[in-house]
């Protein structure tokens, strides 16, 4: 069955992190153009009907394959079926990406504080990958980026190894993973607590003040609501706080 508004995508790689979290890479028959931070709509044919949902791309536009970090939603209309698509399986992709959750680069605000829960790191990963690719041509970017990435336990911190590695190699980037259910992960040696509990600590330590910083929040709606309060108390105006909520509260 053909869908003229879509292109076919083939799963070329997948990595399962937990029973309901996985990272998948798709190669499409035509390039999908997007700005880091935007989302791409993926669909599957179920009972002769195309079921679609948007997902933030974790890959940079320079990459040949699209990468997504996805969580299966119990009873969801798409993710339980998408979770079953193996390497070599096909999906449908809308070639026009959408969204305004993108990096706001200005000389007046060189600091970018990004807060994510679990899969919410995807758009931030795309931004960092793009900046790193651009660095090869134009030199280090004139900005500082920090990602505070929270989850219940360490296996849920998808892309942690890559982001930590990039942070070690680049002075303009810092990655801070934190987990909240430490009793389930006794070998964890990193930061402890929810992102809203430790955000101010790192903002203050890095000098990310409300006059020079844009804040970005992505993922769990409860976290976003709590972080709004943290940022407001720190003196941030709402116009300098960007949000991408992955599901209704």
Q: Which of 48, 63, 215, 221 is nearest to 147 (CA)?
A: 215
Average pLDDT for 68-75: 95
- Contact by Cβ (8 Å): 159, 23: yes
Cβ-Cβ contacts under 8 Å for 121 (sequence gap 6 or more)? 58, 69, 147, 149, 158, 159, 163, 218, 219
Residue 10 has a pLDDT of: 98
Report pLDDT digits (tens) over 147-167: 999 999 999 999 999 999 999
- The predicted structure's pLDDT at residue 29: 94
What CATH number does the domain located at 7-93 have? Answer: 2.40.30.10
The end-to-end CA distance of the chain, in Å, is 36
Closest Cα partner for 79 from 38, 116, 42, 123? Answer: 42
% the chain with pLDDT above 70: 100
Where are the chain's structural domains? Answer: 7-93, 111-245
**Fold matches, 7-93 and 111-245:** no
Angular region, 185: left φ>0, alpha ψ -120 to 50, beta rest: beta
Per-residue model confidence (pLDDT) at position 137: 85
Mean pLDDT, rounded, of the chain: 96
CATH class of the structural domain 111-245: alpha beta
pLDDT tens track for 170-201? 999 999 999 999 999 999 999 999 999 999 99
Instruction: Determine the pLDDT at residue 169.
Output: 95
Q: With 80 as the cut, is the pLDDT of residue 2 above it?
A: no
- The token pair at 72 is 């299966």
Tell how far CA 30 is from the center of its chain.
Answer: 23
Q: What is the pLDDT of residue 1?
A: 64
pLDDT at 87 over 80: yes
Mean pLDDT of 100-123: 97
Model pLDDT for residues 4-62, shown as the tens digit of each residue: 789 999 999 999 999 999 999 999 999 999 999 999 999 999 888 999 999 999 999 99
């Amino acid at each position: 069955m053909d869908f003229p508004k879509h292109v076919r995508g083939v799963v070329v790689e997948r990595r399962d992190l937990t029973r309901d979290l996985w990272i998948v890479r798709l190669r499409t028959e035509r390039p999908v153009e997007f700005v880091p931070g935007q989302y791409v709509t993926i669909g599957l044919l179920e009972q002769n009907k195309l079921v679609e949902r948007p997902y933030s791309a974790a890959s940079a536009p320079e990459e040949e394959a699209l990468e997504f970090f996805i969580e299966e939603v119990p009873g969801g209309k798409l993710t339980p079926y998408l979770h079953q698509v193996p390497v070599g399986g096909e999906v449908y992709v809308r070639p026009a990406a959408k969204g305004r959750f993108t990096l706001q680069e200005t000389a007046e605000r060189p600091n970018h504080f990004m807060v994510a829960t679990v899969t919410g790191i995807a758009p931030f990963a795309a931004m960092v990958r793009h900046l790193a690719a651009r660095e090869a041509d134009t030199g280090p970017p004139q900005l500082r980026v920090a990602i505070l990435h929270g989850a219940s336990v360490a296996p849920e911190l998808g892309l942690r190894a890559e982001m930590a590695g990039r942070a070690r190699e680049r002075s303009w980037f810092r990655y801070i993973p934190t987990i909240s259910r430490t009793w389930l992960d006794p070998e964890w040696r990193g930061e402890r607590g929810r992102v809203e509990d430790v955000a101010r600590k790192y903002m203050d330590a890095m000098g990310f003040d409300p006059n020079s910083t844009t804040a970005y929040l992505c993922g769990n709606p409860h976290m976003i609501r709590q972080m709004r309060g943290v940022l407001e108390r720190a003196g941030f105006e709402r116009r300098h706080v960007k949000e991408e909520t992955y599901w209704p509260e």
